[in-house]
Amino acid sequence: MVVIWGLSVVFAGPYLSYYDLIEWDSSYICMPGWEEWGRKVMDTSTFAFGYVIPVLVMSFSYIRTIKYLWTAVDPLEDISESKKARRKVTKMIIIVTILFCLCWLPYHVVILRYLYGDFPFNQTTYAFRLFSHCMAYANSCLNPIVYALVSKHFRKGFKKVFSCLLSKKHRNKVHAAHIVPGLEAGSAEVSQMHEEKNMCELNPASMAVPSSSSKPLHIS
């Protein structure tokens, strides 16, 4: 994990100074500010290490996973449910790989076309450039959706997590509902005690004990 984040900082750090803010058509946009040779080195390296190599690694790893999934199972246990589960896993792996390729390809095509080809700068191409950025970042949002649509276990786990959160929230509400009336009763009792104390202080005679002189005389 540390290595992954370290490499991410190394490759993404130079982009902090890569763009300049320029005024265009009564608005401000970000445009590459480095010299051409620096942009070519940076963007070509990003294409190689951020797209080509990940696609190759994913393809190699997933091909081995699918091969193991379909060949390492005992034929005697090759029942219909097992086949169905393997088909779902295979489908999910293929969809995830294709989505990664399709979502990130427009971004790199725009960058490489801008560096090595003819990419005119106008409102249409700028909008397409923004769209390619959005597609690239949307790839991370699409993967959980694919898992939820294909994997029954993912859906069960997702529901279990949220049901636990909702039930915990419900228990907190019930607990608070039981506590609040007690607090209100205690507050009322304290208020009543204060009122009685104030009445005693204002009218001490009413709380005085009758003296012996107040008793009626009996004449024998």
List per-residue pLDDT tens for the chain, 220 residues long: 788 888 888 878 888 887 778 777 777 777 777 787 888 888 898 899 889 999 999 999 999 988 888 887 655 555 667 777 788 888 888 999 999 999 999 999 988 888 887 777 788 888 888 899 899 989 988 888 888 887 777 778 778 877 776 666 556 554 444 444 444 444 444 444 445 444 444 444 444 444 444 444 343 3
Between CA 43 and CA 108 the distance in angstroms is 8
Cα separation of 53 and 36, whole Å?
Answer: 24
pLDDT at 78 (0 to 100): 57
217 DSSP 8-state letter? P
Cα–Cα distance, 141 to 157 (Å, whole number): 18
Host H or E run for residue 86? helix 80-116
- Quick check: 91 and 150 in contact, CB under 8 A? yes
Query: Has this prediction a pTM greater than 0.85?
Result: no
Alpha-carbon distance of 215 to 55, in angstroms, equals 108
Q: Which CA distances in Å does 212 have to 184, 206, 216, 217, 219?
A: 44, 16, 9, 11, 16
Task: Report which DSSP code applies to 206.
Answer: G
Are the CB atoms for 120 and 126 separated by under 8 Å? no
Report d(CA 160, CA 152) in Å as an integer. 12
Helix (H) or strand (E) holding 28: strand 27-32
CA distance 102 to 51: 11
Which amino acid, residue 81?
Answer: E
Q: Residue 87 has which token pair?
A: 């088909």
Amino acid at 116: Y
DSSP SS3 for 25:
coil
